[in-house]
Amino acid sequence: MNLLDITLILPLAAFALVLFLSGDAAKKAAIGFALIIFLVSLGLLGPTLAAPAAMNFESNVAWIDSPAIRYHTGIDGVSIWLILLTTLLTPISMLISWNYIKERVPQFYAYLLLLEFGLIGVFMSLDLFLFYVFWEVCLVPMFLLIGIYGHDRRIYAAVKFFLYTMAGSVLMLVAIVYIYGKAGGTFDYIQILAKLHNGQLHFEPAEQMWLFLAFFIAFAIKVPLFPLHTWLPDAHVEAPTAGSVMLAALMLKMGTYGILRFCLPMFPQAAYNARIPIITLAIIGIIYGALVALVQPNMKKLVAYSSVSHLGFVVLGLFTFDQAGVDGAVYQMIAHGVSTGALFMLVGFLYERNHSLEIKDYGGVATCAPYLSTVFLITTLASVGMPLLNNFVGEFLVLQGAARVNIWWAVFAGLGVILSACYMLWLYQRAFFGPVSHEVEHHVTDLTSREWVTLIPMIALMVWMGIYTQTFLPSISASNTHMLGQVQSKEIANAR
Amino acid sequence: MHSLWLIPIFPLVGFLINGMLGRRFSKTVINTVAVGSVVLSFLWVLKALSALAPLNETYVEHYFTWISSGTLDIGFDFAIDRLTMVMLLVVTGIGSLIHVYATGYMAHEGGYYRFFAYLNLFMFFMLTLVLAANYVLLFVGWEGVGLCSYLLIGFYFLKKSASDAGKKAFIVNRIGDFGFSLAMFLIVISFGTLDFQKVFAKASTISPEVQYGSITTICLLLLVGAIGKSAQIPLYVWLPDAMEGPTPVSALIHAATMVTAGVYMIARSATLFERAPIAMDVVAYIGLATAVMAATIGLVQNDIKKVYAYSTVSQLGYMFLGCGVGAFSAGIWHVVTHAFFKALLFLGAGSVIHACAGEQDMQKMGGLMKKIPITFAVLFIAAMAIAGVPPLSGHYSKDAILMAAHARAPWMYWVGVVTAGMTAFYVFRSIFLTFFGEYRGKAHPHESPAVMWVPLAVLAVLSLIGGYAFNIPEFLSPVLPMHGGVHDESLATIATAAGLAGILLAAICYLFVPSIPGALASAFAPIYQTLYDKYYVDELYNVSIVKPIANGSREILWKGADVGVFDALVNGAGTTSMALGGLLRKMQSGNLRTYASWVLIGILLVMGGFAVYGGAK
């Protein structure tokens, strides 16, 4: 059992333990555990960064003999960052729920731990079936977080979220089982890749396309790729703040991570052939998400649609098959997790104070809560791709990669960058500028020290990821170089 | 190493100190930090320059890799050559003066620390912009100054017109930046790097393109960026609105420094533009058209700051004209002299507004000459400088541009001369309306304190001698070779005469026969109204772009497509989900802990099921 396995097991153990505690004790224990897990996970960083192209902390033991499901896990220079983001955002999500969750407290924190367990599992699985299990594990706690702790239409949103994602993952399950049969009885991703490489396993073009689509649709729903995105605004609006943070920052990345880890390496030819329609949808999503965000009267919906737009960049980058494009996509995955996570936190803070998500109920917040307004502004700037903050790097690389393949992709996707400034600055103006109403002045107080504790790491990451990309980018780049090396078949090389 | 990084870092530190702690500081401390950091940066510029003199070659400092991916490698690198040197001196020199002035101007305003924090942040980004050794780092400064402009225009954020103007500036600039970004992507594709030295070294081996080609495309896209930042047609609309910001901001950002960044960027990319004749022509046409258009609007405005704002747009057009006809160094010369006299015009206007208790409408001023004599004197000098009266600074740079324009095409020269006449007219109109005749307002005008008029006096001296003393084109000749225009005495005389004629006409209209303007306005009412309403361009943009996007997004995309089609399709399975929802509601009425137990049981069942199933086989 290595450090990675411990990082995985700890949240599950904590989940079980917290369920048996009550009230405040459960809350404190959960936060304590989450912080310990974060510290433990930091230990993964050094060795992984030393060899980012390879799989580190690999475990490979049989879980079930027949069908041969293996506990095969490991992390490379991409998954390490997603795991660290998970272990960082879990305690933060707990801290922001401190006063917000007043009923069924132990369960709430337990679900967050279970979600953490599922997410870490997703990002480290190297066995298709194991991946599928963790994928489904993630669904349950999020379903409960929305369905129990959400707002008025929570049941509708939770069920929609559950069924929509479920529908996609059933397709993936069918494809996984099919591959199992075809690959000679293994779910082991590394073995499957090896067999594909040495010719023991071969998919006919049509077959490959069906399998690719089965995986891709499951992932695309999760991303969500236009036009499969309509579950997202509902889920975000109804979810409690912590749920929104985890959903936007991490669960959406399950989709893009799945594409990167499984779709591209296992079905490179199909992915390559399907890139034009997919990129078209991604670019439509970038512009469409931004335009619809522009006219939202509800802050959470606005941020939700902005996610549709931002994740469009990620999908665009992944399907450029270009080093800069894919590097940018991964960078954008992490950057979006930080900045949109922070946005949802801040919107949640406003909601806790004034009990409204409608933009029209605000105005003049800058007068009565200057620090909150400043942090919101920094996050807004990060979100609109201000240089020296995190999102710029990802967007720049994605667009650079896209431009290298087809300049028109960069032209149309670039429109989304203009529009992001429109919707975010308009939101900021309406909520924070102008005269302050009596209502707002009375309710909206400035940040508490507990809120500062949750925001400081986010701001620090926004600046760090914007200025010193060398901490993150080389490992991501090395993993992607390795991945692209697997993907470059002769046909793709010829086609370019 | 000469630690160039210290130049922008001083103001950044000032920003951080005042931004984070300023609320608890006294004004004296805030002033010391804000002004001190900029002065330090000015001194460091002087020190670096004296150490690096004569600076015949570009000096580069590499700090660390910023973004690297595949073959793309972008560093945090600063470089300094003579062009950078000129810009550095203007930015830190004028910047210091305006910071000093602002301590007096803003003394009675709320949010004092916030104002100076933003102003220092602006200095940081502006200095990054001119020191950048590659396009992306230049873009960092470029976006950063745009951000500070946004913050400072919207400084009085309780006023909707101010926050609107800030937002407009940011978004219009974003449109320009879109072009700039695309240009960068194409530069990477064509040259494999964004480093100035490498790009220009590779480009200089290419002969000029006669036909439409990749360098032409790159230059046209760079121009889109420059148009946004330097407020040229069709993206100039944000600059007049930007006057909502405090007057020192208008002087520093929206006259002397930031808005000239577009000119700087084009001059920096001269090697590329020289190889794209079509793009050069477009630069010249846009500059000329902007110069004329803005000048005509300036003729009839009544708000003193609006007059100078349109004047800035017009003068920036001149600089573009200079670059477009190949006289890049003449364009930069005009950047420098314009920084002197336009900063002075704005700060002087600020002093006037200060004296008149916030009044900006010139119809409610008049007769201020005796009441605020120092302000009058310096503003008069600035007005003569911009009108091109020899031997003041504006005369030299404007002449250089017009000569080069004549060499390119005589008609450009003539249009430029007419514009020079209009410029002299509207500037002296503002002087006569403000300082001559009887006072028409209700306030009790008083002279500004010394911290305000001393910087004015310094700028006045620079406006007087700045053209004669600093021969920028000669100084820049190692970086930007001189092009076009041999000095022609008769052409120069005509241009000067046009300026003097403008002054004379203004004197007739506003001093001697004050009935003329009113009679002209009613005789040519439609033209007057069109000019007064700025050709209705804002209204046109609103109807043709802003409204359709907002309404289309709301009615068609959101309510139509998103809710009406995509979501409706999903909810086609809605009956099912409703049924399930009912089921869930029943489950909820049970024990509080049941939910978690359900999950745990579920997982265990699944795992157990596999184990058993697996074992059975």
Question: Could you read off the pLDDT of B499-529 as tens digits, one per residue?
Answer: 999 999 988 888 888 888 888 888 888 888 8
Q: How far apart are CA B380 and CA B383, in angstroms?
A: 5
Q: Does residue A354 contact residue A444 with C-beta atoms inside 8 Å?
A: yes
Nearest CA distance, B407 vs chain A (angstrom):
37
pLDDT for residue B484 = 56
Q: Does residue A48 contact residue A56 with C-beta atoms inside 8 Å?
A: yes
Contact state of B576 with A418 under an 8 Å Cβ cutoff: no
Rounded to an integer, the average pLDDT of B232-238 is 89
Rounded to an integer, the average pLDDT of A235-245 is 91
**For A301-351, how does the pLDDT look when each residue is reduced to its tens digit (9 = 90+)?**
999 999 999 999 999 999 999 999 999 999 999 999 999 999 999 999 999
- The count of domains in chain A is 1
Pick among B21, B65, B67 to test the A interface (most A CBs inside 10 A): B67
Nearest CA distance, B400 vs chain A (angstrom):
37
Q: Range with the lowest mean pLDDT among A442-446, B286-290, B556-560?
A: B556-560
pLDDT for residue A455 = 95
Q: Range with the lowest mean pLDDT among A78-82, A466-470, B510-514?
A: B510-514
pLDDT for residue B580 = 57
Instruction: Enter the DSSP assignment of B534.
Output: G
**Nearest neighbour of A141 by CB, restricted to B585, B592, B599:** B599
Q: How far apart are CA B321 and CA B291, in angstroms?
A: 9
Q: Looking at chain B from residue 101 to 160, which residues have their Cβ under 8 Å from any Cβ of chain A?
A: 136, 139-140, 143-144, 147, 150, 154, 157-158, 160
pTM for this entry: 0.91
Pick among A425, A452, A482 to test the B interface (most B CBs inside 10 A): A425
**For B307-365, how does the pLDDT look when each residue is reduced to its tens digit (9 = 90+)?**
999 999 999 999 999 999 988 999 999 999 999 999 999 999 988 888 888 888 888 88
Rounded to an integer, the average pLDDT of A442-448 is 88
Contact state of B144 with A411 under an 8 Å Cβ cutoff: no
**Which token pair is A264?**
């591209």
Residue of A460 and B556 predicted with greater confidence: A460
| Residue B211 backbone zone (phi > 0: left; psi -120 to 50: alpha; other: beta) | beta
pLDDT for residue A160 = 83
Enumerate the residues of chain B whose CB falls inside 8 A of the CB of residue A22. Answer: none
CB-based contact, B573 to chain A, within 8 Å: yes
Enumerate the residues of chain B whose CB falls inside 8 A of the CB of residue A140. Answer: 599, 602-603
Q: What is the band of B615 on the pLDDT scale with cuts at 50, 70, 90? A: very low
**Which token pair is A322?**
């270009």
pLDDT for residue B613 = 54
Contact state of B596 with A227 under an 8 Å Cβ cutoff: no
Does residue A82 belong to any structural domain of this protein?
A: no
Q: How far apart are CA B194 and CA B150, in angstroms?
A: 27
Does residue A5 belong to any structural domain of this protein?
A: no
pLDDT for residue B281 = 92
Nearest CA distance, A353 vs chain B (angstrom):
21
**For A183-193, how does the pLDDT look when each residue is reduced to its tens digit (9 = 90+)?**
888 899 999 99
Task: Kindly list the distances between the CA atom of residue A286 and the CA atoms of A226, A319, A411, B186, in Å, as whole numbers in the listed order.
Answer: 9, 15, 12, 21
pLDDT for residue B617 = 38
**CA gyration radius, chain A:** 22
Residue B386 has pLDDT above 90, yes or no: yes
Does residue A25 belong to any structural domain of this protein?
A: no
Enumerate the residues of chain B whose CB falls inside 8 A of the CB of residue A362. Answer: none
Enumerate the residues of chain B whose CB falls inside 8 A of the CB of residue A432. Answer: 157
**For A38-48, how does the pLDDT look when each residue is reduced to its tens digit (9 = 90+)?**
999 999 999 99
Helix axis angle, A323-354 to A79-96, nearest 10°: 0
Task: Kindly list the distances between the CA atom of residue B500 and the CA atoms of A322, B310, B424, B506, B517, in Å, as whole numbers in the listed order.
Answer: 61, 20, 7, 10, 19
SS3 B81: coil
Q: Does residue A254 contact residue A300 with C-beta atoms inside 8 Å?
A: no
Residue A165 has pLDDT above 60, yes or no: yes
**Nearest neighbour of B182 by CB, restricted to A16, A414, A429:** A414
List all residues 6 or more positions away from A434 whose beta carbon is below 8 Å from its beta carbon: A363, A364, B157, B158, B160, B163
Does residue A493 belong to any structural domain of this protein?
A: yes
**For B414-462, how does the pLDDT look when each residue is reduced to its tens digit (9 = 90+)?**
999 999 999 999 999 999 988 888 888 887 888 888 888 889 999 999 9
**For B207-229, how does the pLDDT look when each residue is reduced to its tens digit (9 = 90+)?**
776 666 889 999 999 999 999 99
pLDDT for residue B592 = 47
Q: Does residue B403 contact residue B484 with C-beta atoms inside 8 Å?
A: yes
Rounded to an integer, the average pLDDT of B386-393 is 90
Does residue A259 belong to any structural domain of this protein?
A: no
Q: How far apart are CA B394 and CA B384, in angstroms?
A: 8
Q: How far apart are CA A443 and CA A438, in angstroms?
A: 9
Enumerate the residues of chain A whose CB falls inside 8 A of the CB of residue B184. Answer: 400
Q: How many residues does chain A have?
A: 496
Contact state of A159 with B580 under an 8 Å Cβ cutoff: yes
| Chain Cα centroid distance, residue B477 | 26
Q: How open is the CA angle B610-B615-B617, to the nearest 5 degrees? A: 100
- Chain A / chain B CB contacts < 8 angstroms: 189
Pick among B24, B64, B65, B69 to test the A interface (most A CBs inside 10 A): B69
pLDDT for residue B599 = 57
Q: Looking at chain B from residue 159 to 178, which residues have their Cβ under 8 Å from any Cβ of chain A?
A: 160, 163-164, 167, 170-171, 174-175, 177-178
Contact state of B67 with A144 under an 8 Å Cβ cutoff: no
Torsion angle of C-alpha atoms B352, B358, B361, B364, degrees rounded to 10 = -80
pLDDT for residue B451 = 82
Q: Which residue of B has its CA nearest to A103?
A: B592
Residue of A225 and B452 predicted with greater confidence: A225
Does residue A227 belong to any structural domain of this protein?
A: no
User: ipTM of this predicted complex?
Assistant: 0.90
Mean model confidence pLDDT for chain B: 86
Residue B586 has pLDDT above 60, yes or no: no
Enumerate the residues of chain B whose CB falls inside 8 A of the CB of residue A12. Answer: none
Q: Does residue B284 contact residue B118 with C-beta atoms inside 8 Å?
A: no
Rounded to an integer, the average pLDDT of B365-386 is 89
Rounded to an integer, the average pLDDT of B4-10 is 92
Rounded to an integer, the average pLDDT of A142-162 is 87
Q: What is the band of B606 on the pLDDT scale with cuts at 50, 70, 90? A: low
Helix axis angle, A128-149 to A105-124, nearest 10°: 160
Percent of chain B with pLDDT over 70: 91
pLDDT for residue A67 = 83
pLDDT for residue B10 = 94
pLDDT for residue B598 = 59
Does residue A355 belong to any structural domain of this protein?
A: yes
**For A98-134, how does the pLDDT look when each residue is reduced to its tens digit (9 = 90+)?**
888 888 888 899 999 999 999 999 999 999 999 999 9
What one-letter code names the amino acid at B487? Answer: H
Percent of chain A with pLDDT over 90: 63
* DSSP states along A172-223: HHHHHHHHHHHTTS--BHHHHHHHHHHTSS---HHHHHHHHHHHHHHHHHHT
Enumerate the residues of chain B whose CB falls inside 8 A of the CB of residue A116. Answer: none
Range of the domain at A296: 274-496
- Residue ranges of alpha helices (H) inside B106-195 are 112-131, 135-153, 160-191
Residue A13 has pLDDT above 60, yes or no: yes
CB-based contact, B186 to chain A, within 8 Å: yes
Does residue A283 belong to any structural domain of this protein?
A: yes
| Residue B359 backbone zone (phi > 0: left; psi -120 to 50: alpha; other: beta) | beta
Residue B590 has pLDDT above 70, yes or no: no
Contact state of B186 with A403 under an 8 Å Cβ cutoff: yes
pLDDT for residue B579 = 62
Percent of chain B with pLDDT over 90: 43
- Residue ranges of alpha helices (H) inside B436-556 are 450-469, 472-476, 489-507, 515-523, 525-532, 537-541, 547-551
Contact state of A425 with B167 under an 8 Å Cβ cutoff: yes
Residue A259 has pLDDT above 90, yes or no: yes
